[in-house]
Structure 1
Amino acid sequence: MKKEVKQKKTFDPKESIGRAKAVRISSAKWRLESEGHEYVWTSRLDRVGIIRAGIPYASIEVISKRINIPVKEFLHVFGLPQTTYNKKRREKSLLNGRDSEIILLLTELVDFGIEVFNNEEEKFQRWMKKQNISLGGNSPESLLDSTTGIQEVKNCLNRIEYGNLA
Structure 2
Amino acid sequence: MVTTFTEYHPPKASTGGFWQQIGLPARGRRLHELLHEGVEYRVYPNLAKVSGIEQKALARYVDIPSATLSRRARSGRFKMAESDRLYRFAELFKAALDLFEGDAEGARAWLLKPNIGLGGRKPIEMSVTSAEYQTVLNLIGRLEHGVCA
TM range (shorter): 0.7 to 0.9
Q: Which moved more, 1:95-104 or 1:77-86?
A: 77-86
The structure where strand makes up a greater share of residues is: 1
- RMSD of Structure 2 on Structure 1 (CA): 2.6
TM, length-normalised to structure 2 = 0.75
Q: How does 1:75-154 map to 2 (within 5 A)?
A: 75-92=59-76, 94-154=77-137
Does 1:31 find its partner at 2:14? no
Q: How many residues align?
A: 137
- SS at 1:144's partner residue? coil
Aligned to 1:11: none
Give the equivalent residue in structure 1 for 2:27. 42
In the TM superposition, residue 78 of structure 1 has moved relative to its aligned partner by 4.3
Structure 1 position 30, deviation (Å): 6.8
TM-score by length of structure 1 reads 0.69
Q: Percent identity?
A: 21
User: Does the 8 A contact of 1:132 with 1:140 survive in 2?
Assistant: yes
Segments of 4+ moved more than 6 angstroms = none
CA distance in 2, matches of 1:70, 1:81: 14
Gaps spanning 5+ residues in structure 2: where?
Answer: 1-12
Q: 1:96 to 1:40 in 2, by over 3 A?
A: same
Shift of 1:61: 2.4
Larger radius of gyration: 1
The one-letter amino acid paired with 1:134 is G
